[in-house]
A and B are shown apart, each in its own frame.
Chain A
Amino acid sequence: MKREKNLDLAIDFLVSSIDQKTKGSAAFHSRIYFPFKKWSAPYPETTGYIIATLLDLAKYEKYNHLKKHAKEMADWIIELQAEDGGLPGGLYDSNGKMEKSIFNTAQMIIGLNAAYIFFNEKKYMEASAKAASWLKDVQEENGYWTKYHYQKDFFPSYYTRVAWPMLEAAKIIDDIDIENAALKTFDAIQSKKNKNKFVKDAGFKSGSYAFLHTIAYTIRGFLEGALINNREDYWITAYDWAYKLLRKYEIKKKLAGAYFEDFKEVDWYRCLTGEAQMVIIWMKIFEKTKDIRFVNASSKLLDEICKTQPQKNGLLLKAGGIKGSHPYHGRYIMFRQPNWATKFFIDALLLEEKAYQEIVNKVVV
């Protein structure tokens, strides 16, 4: 593998993030937030989707041992599940003071689905079904959610990443009601698409910029929705936006840390998390279209991300962990190395390798 050292360092970072008591993954490493213990409390949300990454890695002989961690994580998530199926938001609180959260529940469904597919154990499917069912039950008529989410009067477009795991769960358990609920959310968000290909409200606040991270969340949701349900309109929404960002990247050789809805850039920092997520999106577009331009841009962007990955433990940074932003004081997850940035980086590296194998073996004459 071309970037094996980067991958190994990133895996070591993720494994180090695992809390020995709970088996959940700490949200981030930071010598500034936590000068002595360095790691935050475990984060159920991202632990959820890290399961999928570890299981992807476990398919390789070299990394097969990681399935043990993935299983422990999935079991921990089941422990955290409320009676009605909801899963908690925020960092893990050993006193049990945790509120249920729409978005976070959906992210954990990703892990539960992956665990079910990998281990073929019914308990993961049941937990996923219960969680997806809860999301459907508390959904409003218009496809939005008003309860159990961050801001009451603002419904962010990156909730396509709630609809995607719901849709995935619906397909696994063959539940048309959950499927329809997910599609309702996709359609509601898609109605906010601007002429310039940007989908309104893709950030954390209304009328403000959106980090590349939440833009990528929004695009990925549409992309996965399109792939699962064969929906051309979701595909076009995802493709057009992703291609526009690719073009911007190829011309400027840089993606901004955040964008306003008119594509005005906040470019004094890079959102490394979002960059890794964009690589995943571009690689997935390649998988469907065989358009190698998407691999080309991905490899260039991965080169740039790799340059920021600490190769050794330092005063502030832990080896292998991708920073939220570059420079470290950039606005997105300032002064921290979130576990999800490294998770998306690993996903991106695996997809890049797969793409090159395909290019060498199939695409090129």
Chain B
Amino acid sequence: MKIVVTAGHNKSLHSIALMHTLKKNGHEIVGCILVKTFQIKRLKSYIRQYGWKTVKAKFSSHVLGNSDTYLANEVKPIKDYLEKIELEKTSVTQFCKKEKIKIVHTNSLNEDEACQMVKEQAADLIIYAGGGILRKKIIQSSKQGVLNAHSGWLPFFRGMNAIEWSLLYGFRPHTTIHFIDVGIDTGSILFREPIPYHNDLYTLRGTATVHNIELLNKVLGNFEEYKKSSLEQTPKQGKQFFVMHDRLKEIVAKKLKNNSEDKWITQKDKINELNFK
């Protein structure tokens, strides 16, 4: 299958690992859309969403690779994964150059040159690995659409910080592989699986990134079958969650530390029993 992968920034280990593993599993990576890291508008939007403290820590750990921030545990699992698959740490640009993958640098995933590249490369599928919200034009630019790995049980936990929101409601976080449509995490569902457990919140978030890569590879290994049995969602089935406030995150982190793996609800039918009317 001819695949285009997105990247949220040039040091995205997630995108690099994803392209590498897909390639190794026999897929053809025909392009990469890399959203420019340093943009005032983008930075402002991040600060508005996450707050300055988080943006600073994310930049330090995710882009600069520093291990002295409170988010360092979030990056460790993907670094370990790269080591495991014997892939050296590099930048998206260098990886694409080495692997002869066409790359476009854009201000947004929705720019014309991004759509044009997908069409020129006759891509079957785009895989989302960060870079912001996708609009109709880019969603419709490939033959099959855009595939995403979301770290929450869909349709219920849509939007931001799905891991934290799942835990707050007592539900074991899952990865959901789904198509992206114009709504927020409302596209049809191909596969869901619990994220490997860890009782540290940031490590769990990092583990989810690796799990996303593994599940995307699994689904693409038998894509037509998963597509055939996919589940449609309706907007009313779930809730859209937003960036979680630090005070709630503290509660989640504490609960996660204190609860053992079997404490969390995993059965999908139990989701209706959550204390959420």
Contacts and interface: CB of A to CB of B under 8 A. Distances in A.
Interface stretch (A176-184, A274-282, A294-302, A322-330): A294-302
Given A289-B277, A290-B277, A293-B239, A299 B168 contact: no
Interface in B225-254: 239-245, 247-248, 251
A253 B168 contact: no
A236 interface: no
Nearest to B170: A365
Interface of A: 2, 247, 250, 252-253, 288-293, 295-297, 299-300, 303, 356, 359-360, 362-365
Contacts of B263: 365
B245 A300 contact: yes
A362 B168 CA distance: 11
15 contacts: A250-B242, A253-B49, A292-B165, A293-B242, A295-B245, A296-B244, A296-B248, A297-B242, A299-B247, A356-B247, A359-B248, A364-B169, A364-B170, A364-B255, A365-B255
Contacts of A295: 245, 248
B222 interface: no
A290 B169 CA distance: 10
Nearest to B45: A253
B138 to A, nearest CB: 20
Contacts of B48: 252-253
Nearest to B254: A360
Nearest to B247: A299
A360 B245 contact: no
Contacts of B276: 289-291
Contacts, number: 57
A299 B264 contact: no
A253 B242 CA distance: 11
A173 B10 CA distance: 69
A252 B259 CA distance: 35
A359 B245 CA distance: 13
Contacts of A365: 169-170, 255, 259, 263-265
B275 interface: yes
A364 B275 CA distance: 8
A292 B252 CA distance: 12
B242 A364 contact: no
Contacts of A293: 239, 241-242
Contacts of A362: 275
A297 B169 CA distance: 17
Given A356-B247, A365-B170, 13 more contacts: A253-B49, A288-B277, A289-B277, A290-B276, A291-B277, A299-B247, A300-B245, A359-B248, A362-B275, A364-B169, A364-B251, A365-B259, A365-B263
Most chain B C-beta atoms within 10 Å of own C-beta, residue among A2, A362, A363: A363
Nearest to A246: B242
A299 B246 CA distance: 9
A306 B192 CA distance: 41
A365 B273 CA distance: 12
A364 B255 CA distance: 8
A360 B277 contact: no
A296 B245 CA distance: 6
B248 A292 contact: yes
A209 B8 CA distance: 40
Contacts of A291: 239, 276-277
Contacts of A290: 275-277
Nearest to A253: B48
Contacts of B170: 364-365
A250 B48 CA distance: 10
Contact of A363 (B241, B243, B265, B275): B275
Contact of A299 (B239, B245, B275): B245
Nearest to A292: B168
A288 B194 CA distance: 30
Most buried by A among B240, B243, B275: B275
B240 to A, nearest CB: 8
Contacts of B259: 365
A288 B277 CA distance: 9
B273 to A, nearest CB: 10
Interface in B17-73: 48-49
A364 B165 CA distance: 10
A253 B45 CA distance: 10
Nearest to A360: B251
B270 to A, nearest CB: 11
Nearest to B246: A299
B265 to A, nearest CB: 7
A253 B259 CA distance: 33
A236 to B, nearest CB: 14
A52 B265 CA distance: 41
Contacts of B165: 292
